[in-house]
Structure 1
Amino acid sequence: MRKKASFKRKAELQQRRAISQSEYDAAVAKADEAKAGVAAAQARVEAARVRLRCRFRLRSCICTHRSMALWPTSISVV
């Protein structure tokens, strides 16, 4: 009787571990997605800053129009 109970207890513990491991894996995946989303948002913000900086340089530049045309006016983040 005692052995049967210990096997049952071990099986319950293994099942709990499996559930908690899958919950942990799901939480880690969710955190990774959130980090990726934050990184993408930061990249978009940085691209916008660079774009604005470049446009400001174009306006304040005293160079010829030809050299001003070589300045990047838009940057796309992949």
Structure 2
Amino acid sequence: MAIELNDDLIQLQRASDEAHAAVRADPSPEAWAVWRERAGAVQAAVTEWAKENDKPRNEVEAAVKKAVRHPAPPEA
């Protein structure tokens, strides 16, 4: 059964991934701080969403990452 994610989770993961890319380009303490903050926000949101929707947290996290990093092609 597919997990129906909300846009907030997707946006948080995208922001975290962008911050991670920034760390890879410039591993400054400031960039690391931004990434840690955004990654923490994703983790907290995933945990809360999983509890509210009675879904396994690890499955929700995997679904969020898959949706952001490997989106399905648009239907024709």
Larger radius of gyration: 1
> Which structure has the highest helix share of the two?
1
TM class, shorter-length: 0.3 to 0.5
TM-score normalized with structure 2 length: 0.39
Q: Which has the higher contact order (CA 8 A, sep 6+)?
A: 2
